């Protein structure tokens, strides 16, 4: 599966810790957009789509949540719960963020600006498109 967990640099200090995200360094793309989700009600999920070309780097900056991933052949669940670790999700991976803890904040760093045409929001359509690219 075309994903990668990446540890960000951590600088620990009695006054609080600091982690750094730098484009083309620990995040392997130019950063065009950043957004975050928070106050997700219990039992709700976010994302539930694939992107045709967009690369995302997802970080649990507070609390925790699970990222469910599907590349058309394999399914994985990854718990994100460390603010110094992010999940790199490459194009054509179906993703769903779920099981948010109370107070969780999901930060998503993107390789491009928002473009609705890049999204596949219907899972059956995703499988049809993906099956054409899987050997």
**What are the structural domains of the chain?**
3-9+24-131 (2.60.120.10)
Quick one: pLDDT band at residue 83, thresholds 50, 70, 90? Answer: very high
pTM for this model (two decimals): 0.92
pLDDT by residue (tens digit) across 33-57? Answer: 999 999 998 888 899 999 999 999 9
Tell me the H-state helices in 1-135: 123-131
- Cβ 19 vs Cβ 9: under 8 Å: yes
Catalytic residues: 49
The pLDDT, as a whole number, for residue 44 is 87
Task: Check the CA dihedral 43-81-127-27 and report its sign.
Answer: positive
Which of 60, 103, 70, 49 has its CA nearest to residue 3?
Answer: 70
Cα 89-97-100 angle, rounded to 5 deg: 135
Q: Is residue 135 over pLDDT 90?
A: no
């Amino acid at each position: 599966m075309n994903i990668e967990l990446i540890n960000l640099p951590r600088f620990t200090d009695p006054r609080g810790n600091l982690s750094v995200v730098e484009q083309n360094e620990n995040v392997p793309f130019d950063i065009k957009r950043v957004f975050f989700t928070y106050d997700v009600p219990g039992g709700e999920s976010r994302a539930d789509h694939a992107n045709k070309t967009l690369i995302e780097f997802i970080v649990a900056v507070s609390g925790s949540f699970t990222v469910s991933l599907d590349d058309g052949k394999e399914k994985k669940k990854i718990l994100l719960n460390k603010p110094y670790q992010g999940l790199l999700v490459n194009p054509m991976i179906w993703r769903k963020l779920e099981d948010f803890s109370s107070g969780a904040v999901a930060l998503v760093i993107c390789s491009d600006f928002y473009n609705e045409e890049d999204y596949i929001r219907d899972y059956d359509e995703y499988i049809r498109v993906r099956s054409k690219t899987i050997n």
